């Protein structure tokens, strides 16, 4: 029975705190009141959870080029059309069209102790298929790309098993992910350089279970494309034990992926035009595509509905922005970044200026704050300005810190605005990331709506005061 | 209210900020390194999750006086015996022995449109039974205790339906809980004063579903004890609609609770004796009892395993404390506070001094920080001292703020130490609080172990530097 949790803002998260003490804060009681309204509206009248539930049901597994991706484009376009925005449109972009094909098979074959032992795997995104009959070879376990480089020709004809886990001692799971994902992204290309015939990679996961985690791999143009799968963390542990116990472990792998001709797809865009400085754009976005095996609830349906909710909340609270507020649902973040690249290309062609761009692509969990980045020539100044509002945001347990923003908005950095990544709690995200388990039941409605409220509040302050 | 709060909070923020900037911070790189070790150990070698899984399996529904409560005492005593502490003992206390009896029944009877409509209910803790054949009466809906006072004799012979929901616009669910729980705690006593024959109360829940949330009710010695049940939020909404549509809604309620003779139970205590100032005690604790319908995973198995993990981690890292570190698993927080009361009584008899007491009783979710309270004569000074370590804790996304600590440790306030409540993320807690859904699958191992690490880190700093 604990009551009366009043939050006192006693602490600042980050290094530039002295600037918070001395810089003039333009924020007022009126702003605090409006932010309170943003939270109340988002929590009790927000549509984000309903939209997300429907998006997951009607456009599950919406990988770029798929029918589901087309459904996601049309579904979100129709929602945006109801939000009372000034304009809603589709921005064409050509996207890769990779298909998984029939379900992968993978097993240990002919183990003296285990016989044939099936393993839970998923082909990596963009990966090629095995020969039609599959392939069989001994595996060789490595813990890093560097180890493959050292082994060199010893991997020839083998299946390379990348087995370095995420570092469980890291508090930030994104840091731990960043420290392990090179095996998945670059492993097949590096192994192919020395004649490996396939790759099996330990799922980049923060938990131990039977679900394999897919994700993109990037081949090297100079080396052959070899088949690559992710194996569940439990099965990776089983393989590890087997390799200790037996002289040689042979795997059978059969994957059926194909890369078809590129497809025309779209970024979905809606905007409210600014009344005073319409030429200054504040973008809020997420990505519409999701891996084929799950429903894309946290990655990144959450970011899409966050972004739509931001504009909807401000519109319904009667807010008339100074700047142009633009919601962008990017296509193809997962395996190509075609949407983000095309958006930036056209924006630069039109000489647009993004004063700020906020991406939500870290899930729909309880908000912790925001991370910022910018060209070094403007970063310190922008950071001073945005941290003027820290006291207002700390009342909602939100901090502002330096860090990565988002893949889709990263090409906008050259416009010299501030790039911002929404930072929700990260502890559960990599349990389900890129798996069949990324489903709506993993999303808590209050947490999702708090995320929308946090982003809306920051966007409101940027719009009102500039950066 | 909001505006005043904000001004107040801002003022406190600047006061404390100033002290953080200018006070000598004793913390060093060595401390940061040790805290990093605490986190690494907790995250990768902590036992808390395993203990909690086993506690939930072997002592589920461990309400005071039950066989399961006895099992919980013995199970945790045995664990503490393995931790390498200086002493482990049981501290006797007499606890109330309330039993639910056979499953409750509740239904709308004779509705012209719905016929008989069953409702999902749970008898409130400490409540009395209906007559053996149950009772039937019309319901009268109210939104507050005050409304009953105004209605007065109009509630005579009726079943009072308390229907005020938790305030969904509050960011802190503990605040929202605090704003609604009076209906459950005091509603039956207030309604009985005017002749009501039973009470049905909307579950104090942050979500809408079919699970009723139990919890204690406190009768008034001067008025009759009347039966009281909590109804699920979905069913409360159904009743609300029915009351709008139909002139009279009649309910049948049958409960089978009993309060048996008090039972001897125990607080489970383990300690590491301090090397330099053993007379200064730093307590870390949670409560061992849990409502009978769930497994007590978050409430408060999490707090118990947090507390044991704190001492285990420090012991296994070879830390030799200056002060006496005491882990206390309190009995009977839910419906009597007998354990906390007896602990404080004996502590005062022995002239003990608790320099600090930390309670974890808000679930096993991702840590957000700590709340502190103390007698006003010492609070500002203690707060200045504890916030010296804010920079160290902010690196782990932890803040220190003023607020409630914990029910079990609250009687220790008169010893003039600092009372501290561990504050995990609160968004999911009241979805499952006091329901059959408070089960181990709602606990994320990393989040649980981060909680233990956060508490261990703060306790280490208090032990090393004092308060």
d(CA B256, CA B105): 9
Q: How far is B125 from chain A (nearest CA, A)?
A: 13
B428 vs A: CB within 8 A: yes
B443 and chain A in contact, CB less than 8 A:
no
Going by C-alpha positions, the residue among A406, A409, A410, A387 that lies closest to residue A458 is: A387
Cβ distance A11 to B445 less than 8 Å, yes or no, reads no
For residue A80, pLDDT over 60 is answered with yes
Residue A261 CB neighbours (<10 A): 8
Model pLDDT, residue A28: 83
Higher-confidence position of B412 and A23: B412
Contact between residue B292 and residue B253 where contact means Cβ atoms under 8 Å apart: no
- Compute the Cα dihedral for A412, A414, A419, A421 and give only its sign: positive
Cα distances (Å, whole numbers) of residue A267 to A93, A363, B83 = 7, 20, 57
**Main-chain phi, psi angles of A246, to 5 degrees:** -125, 145
User: Which run of H or of E encompasses A280?
Assistant: strand A277-287
Q: pLDDT grade, residue A250 (50/70/90)?
A: very high
Q: Name residues 370-399 of chain A within 8 A of B (Cβ).
A: 391, 394-397, 399
Q: What is the mean pLDDT of chain A?
A: 94
DSSP A243-269: HHH-S--EEEEE---EEEEEEEEEEEE
Task: Tell me if B172 and A11 make a contact (CB, 8 A cut-off).
Answer: no
Report, as an integer, the average pLDDT of A33-45: 98
Confidence class for position B346, pLDDT limits 50, 70, 90:
very high
User: CB–CB of A11 and B390 under 8 A?
Assistant: yes
Q: Measured between CB atoms, does A450 come within 8 Å of chain B?
A: yes
For chain B, what is the mean pLDDT? 94
Mean pLDDT of B9-15: 41
User: If you search the block for the tokens 């095309």, which residue do you land on?
Assistant: A342
Mean pLDDT of A422-426: 98
Closest by Cα among B333, B331, B364, B388 to B447:
B364
What distance in Å separates residue A19's CA from the closest CA in chain B? 12
Report whether pLDDT(A4) > 50.
no
Question: Nearest C-alpha of chain A: how many angstroms from B181?
Answer: 9
Min Cα–Cα distance to chain B from A230, Å:
23
pTM of the model: 0.93
CB A306 within 8 A of CB A359: no
pLDDT(A133) > 70: yes
Please report the ipTM that was assigned to this predicted complex: 0.92
With bands split at pLDDT 50, 70 and 90, how would you rate the model's confidence at A305?
Answer: very high
Q: Is B404 on the interface with A (CB under 8 A)?
A: yes
Percent of chain A with pLDDT over 70: 94
Residues of A in contact with B177 (CB under 8 A): 3
pLDDT band at residue B272, thresholds of 50, 70 and 90? Answer: very high
A175 touches chain B (CB under 8 A): no
Strand order in the sheet with A135-142: A115-118, A105-111, A250-254, A135-142, A159-162, A198-202, A228-231, A121-123
Residue the block writes with tokens 């998945």: A184
Quick one: tokens of A114? 């285990």
Q: Do A1 and B421 touch (CB under 8 A)?
A: no
Residue A51 to residue A445: CA distance in whole angstroms: 11
Whether pLDDT at B301 is above 90? yes
B153 vs A394: CA distance, rounded Å: 48
pLDDT in tens, B47-90: 999 999 999 999 999 999 999 999 999 999 999 999 999 999 99
Residue of B3, B401, B406 lying closest to A8 (CB–CB): B401
Residue B22: is its pLDDT beyond 90?
no
What mean pLDDT comes out for the span B337-358?
Answer: 98
Instruction: Give per-residue pLDDT as tens, A395-412.
Output: 999 999 999 999 999 999
pLDDT at B184 over 80: yes
Contact B397 A399 (CB under 8 A): yes
Residues 186-215 of B with CB under 8 A from A: 206-207
Tokens coding B164 = 């005020």
Q: Please, which pLDDT band fits residue B15 given cuts at 50, 70 and 90?
A: very low
Give residue B91's pLDDT band: very low, low, confident or very high (50, 70, 90).
very high
- Interface check for A24 against chain B (CB to CB < 8 A): the answer is no
Q: With a cut of 90, say whether residue A24 has pLDDT above it.
A: no
- Give yes or no for residue A16 having a pLDDT over 70: no
What is the CB neighbour count within 10 angstroms for residue A210?
11
A3 CB within 8 Å of a chain B CB? yes
Is residue B32 predicted with pLDDT exceeding 60? yes
- For chain B, positions 58-97, list CB contacts with chain A under 8 A: none
Q: Which long-range contacts (CB under 8 A, 24 or more apart) does B344-347 make?
A: B344/B411, B344/B412, B345/B411, B346/B91, B347/B412, B347/B415
For the segment B92-100, the average pLDDT, to the nearest whole number, is 98
Q: Do A223 and A189 touch, CB atoms closer than 8 A?
A: yes
Closest CA to B283 of B405, B391, B390, B429: B405
A3, A10, A389, best to mutate vs chain B, most B CBs in 10 Å: A10
Instruction: Report the residue from A5, A32, A428 with minimal CB separation from B6.
Output: A32
Which residues from chain B sit within 8 angstroms of residue A427, using beta carbons? 366, 444, 446-447, 450
Hey, is the C-beta of B181 within 8 angstroms of any chain A C-beta? yes
With 50 as the cut, is the pLDDT of residue B262 above it? yes
d(CA B105, CA B119): 8
Contacts of A397 in chain B (CB under 8 A): 171, 368, 399
Indicate the range of B14-23, B335-344, B395-404 predicted with least confidence: B14-23
> Which 27-46 residues of chain A touch chain B by CB within 8 A?
29, 32-33, 36, 39-40, 43-44
Give the mean pLDDT of B200-214.
98
Contacts of A17 in chain B (CB under 8 A): 17
Q: What is the dihedral of CA B415, B417, B422, B423, to 10 degrees?
A: 110
| H helices present in A172-319, as ranges | 173-178, 182-193, 233-245, 302-316
Q: Which two tokens stand for residue A450?
A: 């708090």
For residue B111, give how far its alpha carbon lies from the nearest alpha carbon of chain A (Å): 31
Question: What is the predicted pLDDT for the residue at A127?
Answer: 98
E-only strand ranges, A119-210: 121-123, 135-142, 159-162, 198-202
DSSP SS3 for A91: strand
Whether the upstream peptide bond of residue A300 has omega within 30° of 0, thus cis, is yes
- pLDDT at position B11, please? 42
Which residues of chain B does A6 touch, with a Cβ-Cβ cutoff of 8 Å? Answer: 5, 9, 172, 175, 401-403
pLDDT at B5 > cutoff 90: no
For residue A170, which of B2, B150, B119, B446 has the smallest C-alpha distance? B446
Enumerate helices (H) and strands (E) in chain B, giving the number of each: 14, 16
Distance from CA of A167 to the nearest CA of B (A): 9
Which 3 state secondary structure label does DSSP give A153? Answer: helix
pLDDT value of position B27: 64
């Amino acid at each position: 029975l604990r009551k009366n949790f009043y939050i006192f803002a006693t602490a600042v998260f980050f290094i530039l705190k002295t600037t918070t003490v001395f810089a003039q804060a333009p924020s007022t009681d009126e702003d605090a009141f409006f932010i309170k309204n943003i939270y109340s509206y988002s929590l009790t009248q927000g549509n984000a959870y309903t939209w997300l539930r429907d998006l997951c049901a009607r456009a599950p597994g919406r990988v770029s080029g798929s029918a589901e991706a087309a459904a996601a484009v049309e579904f979100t376009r129709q929602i945006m059309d109801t939000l009372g925005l000034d304009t809603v449109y589709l921005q064409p972009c050509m996207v890769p069209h990779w298909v998984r094909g029939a379900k992968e098979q993978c097993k240990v074959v002919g183990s003296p102790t285990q016989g044939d032992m099936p393993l839970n795997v998923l082909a990596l995104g963009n990966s090629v298929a095995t020969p039609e009959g599959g392939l069989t070879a001994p595996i060789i376990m490595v813990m890093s790309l560097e180890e493959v480089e050292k082994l060199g020709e010893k991997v020839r004809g083998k299946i390379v098993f990348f087995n370095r886990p995420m570092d469980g001692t890291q508090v930030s799971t994104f840091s731990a992910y960043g420290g392990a994902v090179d095996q998945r992204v670059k492993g097949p290309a590096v192994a192919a350089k020395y004649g490996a015939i396939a790759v099996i990679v330990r799922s980049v996961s923060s938990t131990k279970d039977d679900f394999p985690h897919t994700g993109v791999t990037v081949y090297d143009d100079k080396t052959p494309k070899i088949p690559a799968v992710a194996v569940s963390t439990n099965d990776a542990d089983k393989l590890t034990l087997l390799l200790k116990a037996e002289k040689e472990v042979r795997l059978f792998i059969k994957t059926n992926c194909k890369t078809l001709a590129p497809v025309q797809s779209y970024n979905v865009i809606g905007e409210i035009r600014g009344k005073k400085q319409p030429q200054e754009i504040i973008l809020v976005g997420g990505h519409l595509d999701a891996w084929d095996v799950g429903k894309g609830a946290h990655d990144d349906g959450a970011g899409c509905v966050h972004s739509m909710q931001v504009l909807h909340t401000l519109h319904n609270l009667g807010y008339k922005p100074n700047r142009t507020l633009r919601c962008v649902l990017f296509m193809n973040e997962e395996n190509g970044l075609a949407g983000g690249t095309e958006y930036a290309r056209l924006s630069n062609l039109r000489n647009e200026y993004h004063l700020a761009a906020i991406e939500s692509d870290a899930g729909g969990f309880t908000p912790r704050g925001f991370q910022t980045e910018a060209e070094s020539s403007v970063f310190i100044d922008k950071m001073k300005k945005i941290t003027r509002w820290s006291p207002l945001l700390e009342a909602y347990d939100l901090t502002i810190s330096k860090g990565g923003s988002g893949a889709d908005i990263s090409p906008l950095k050259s416009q010299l605005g501030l790039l911002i990544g929404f930072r929700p709690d990260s502890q559960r995200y990599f349990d389900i990331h890129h798996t069949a388990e990324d489903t709506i039941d993993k999303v808590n409605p209050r947490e999702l709506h708090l995320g929308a409220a946090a982003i809306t509040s920051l966007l409101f302050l940027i719009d009102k005061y500039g950066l």
